[in-house]
A and B are shown apart, each in its own frame.
Chain A
Amino acid sequence: MKILVPIKRVIDYNVKVRVKSDGTGVDLANVKMSMNPFDENSVEEAIRLKEAGIATEVLVVSIGEKKAVETLRTALAMGADRGILVETEHGVDIEPLAVAKILSKIVAEEAPELLILGKQAIDNDLNATGQMLAALLDWGQATFASGLKIEDGKAIVTREVDSGLQTIAVSLPAIVTTDLRLNEPRYASLPNIMKAKKKPLVEKTATDYGVDTTPRLKVLTTEEPASRTASIRLGSVDELVEKLKETGIV
Chain B
Amino acid sequence: MSVFVLAEVAGGVLALDATAKAVTAAAKLGDVTALVCGPVAAGEEAAKIAGISKVLVCEDAAVADGLAENVAKLIIENASGATHIVAPASTSGKNVLPRVAALLDVMVLTDVIEIVNAETFKRPIYAGNAIQTVASSDSVKVLTVRTAAFEAANAGAAAPVVSVSLSEASALSTHIEHKTLESDRPELTSAKIVVCGGRGVGSENGFALISGLADKLGAAVGASRAAVDLGYAANDLQVGQTGKVVAPDLYIAVGISGAIQHLAGMKDSKVIVAINKDEDAPIFQVADYSLVADLFEALPELTGKL
Contacts and interface: CB of A to CB of B under 8 A. Distances in A.
A11 B284 CA distance: 25
Given A222-B131, A247-B271, A164 B180 contact: yes
Contact of A229 (B100, B123, B288, B293): B288
Given A219-B132, A237-B301, A249 B271 contact: yes
A54 interface: no
Nearest to B248: A249
Interface stretch (B49-57, B166-174, B196-204): B166-174
A237 B305 contact: yes
B79 interface: no
A187 interface: no
A163 interface: yes
Contacts of B69: 134, 140-141
A109 to B, nearest CB: 20
Nearest to B188: A162
A113 B239 CA distance: 34
B124 to A, nearest CB: 7
Interface in A165-181: 165-171, 174, 179-181
Q: Select the residue from A169, A180, A219, A238 with max chain B CB neighbours within 10 A.
A: A180
B173 A163 contact: no
B126 A11 contact: yes
A123 B173 CA distance: 30
B1 interface: no
B287 interface: yes
Interface stretch (B24-32, B40-48, B86-94): B86-94
Interface size class of B (residues with CB under 8 A): 35 or more
A220 to B, nearest CB: 4
Interface in B283-297: 284-293
Contacts of B293: 237
A167 B176 contact: yes
Q: Chain A interface secondary structure, helix, strand, loop or mixed?
A: mixed
B188 to A, nearest CB: 8
Interface stretch (A42-50, A78-86, A92-100, A200-208): A92-100
A219 B133 contact: yes
Contacts of B170: 140
Contact of A165 (B67, B173, B179): B179
Interface stretch (A57-65, A142-150, A189-197): A142-150
B39 to A, nearest CB: 17
B58 to A, nearest CB: 19
A56 to B, nearest CB: 23
Contacts of B10: 162-163
Contacts of A108: none
Interface string A124-166: 1111111111111011111110100000000010011111111
Contacts of B242: 120, 179-180
B260 A16 contact: yes
B173 to A, nearest CB: 4
Nearest to B219: A250
A231 B125 contact: no
Nearest to B235: A160
A198 interface: no
Given A122-B126, A216-B107, A233-B291, 20 more contacts: A96-B107, A97-B105, A127-B98, A131-B97, A131-B98, A135-B100, A135-B103, A138-B172, A160-B91, A161-B236, A162-B244, A168-B175, A171-B172, A180-B225, A216-B137, A217-B107, A234-B290, A241-B306, A244-B250, A249-B249
Interface of A: 11, 13-14, 16-17, 19, 26, 95-97, 100, 120, 122-136, 138-144, 146, 156, 159-171, 174, 179-181, 216-225, 228-229, 231-234, 236-241, 243-244, 247, 249-250
26 contacts: A17-B129, A96-B108, A120-B242, A125-B123, A131-B94, A132-B98, A134-B69, A144-B91, A146-B235, A162-B236, A166-B66, A169-B176, A170-B172, A216-B106, A216-B137, A218-B136, A219-B134, A220-B133, A222-B130, A231-B284, A231-B289, A233-B291, A237-B298, A244-B306, A249-B192, A250-B250
Closest 6 pairs (CB-CB, A-B): A140-B172, A131-B98, A135-B102, A132-B102, A128-B98, A216-B107
